[in-house]
Amino acid sequence: MNPHVEVKFRDYDIYKLVICGPGKSGKTSICKRLTQNTFQKKYQPTCGAEFHSYSFKTSKGKAVALFYDMAGQKRFGVVRNLLYSGTNAAAIVFDISNKESFRECAKWIRELRTQNKELDITIVGNKTDSTRDVEKIDAERISRRLGCRYVETSALTGDGIGDLVKTLVSSAIISSNKKFVGR
């Protein structure tokens, strides 16, 4: 019997993805749809942040995306700022049935860009199962003007969740590779 035990620090890549945006936009519901394939109808605000993990495979092997689900209320800004460091990609979620939540996206971009000017950001129009107050064409145009990509989802039905994950994971991998090459 060999007395030496081989310990690997990690045998998979880890990507940090931030999910932020105004309260009641569906950030936690998106994370739970993705990681547990569930939808909780009763709204419970996130206190500070919640963490969700999603395992997947890349050409290099196993990988894990850690979703940092940030509380949207202003009072949690200090907590968010502490957790943004090391983020590989971010999503700003708004409710397409609430025009005011869409207007807040610019504020969220500023908050994220304060931490990392090069961060790849995706704006997410959630609740496509609801009555639309923000038109998709307008959201796409404004997202481009703000230097972000745009996708739509429904955490209730699961529509668009797979596309969102692919978008964020691809961005995170590219971001991670840029950091590695830059060292």
Q: Where are the alpha helices (DSSP H) in the chain?
A: 27-36, 77-83, 99-103, 105-115, 136-145, 161-182
| Pair type for strands 89-95 and 149-152 | unpaired
Amino acid in position 180? F
pLDDT at 9: 54
Identify the CATH homologous superfamily for domain 23-182: P-loop containing nucleotide triphosphate hydrolases (3.40.50.300)
Query: How high is the pLDDT of residue 183?
Result: 44
Q: If we measure between CA atoms, which residue out of 51, 138, 146 comes closest to residue 107?
A: 146
Q: What is the pLDDT of residue 5?
A: 53
pLDDT of residue 182: 47
Q: How far apart are CA 57 and CA 152, in angstroms?
A: 24
| 70: β partners | 49
How many CB atoms within 10 Å of residue 73? Answer: 14
Show Cβ contacts of residue 46 under 8 Å, excluding neighbours closer than 6 positions.
27, 28, 69, 70, 71, 72
Confidence at residue 7, expressed as pLDDT on a 0 to 100 scale: 46
Structure token digits, residue 143 = 């997202």
Query: β-pairing, 89-95 with 121-126?
Result: parallel
Q: What pLDDT is attached to residue 162?
A: 93
Q: Where are the domains of the chain?
A: 23-182
Residue ranges in the chain whose pLDDT is less than 50: 7, 180-183
> What share of the chain in percent tops pLDDT 90?
60
Give this prediction's pTM: 0.88
- Alpha helices (H) along 1-104: 27-36, 77-83, 99-103
**What is the rounded CA–CA span in Å between residue 33 and residue 27?**
10
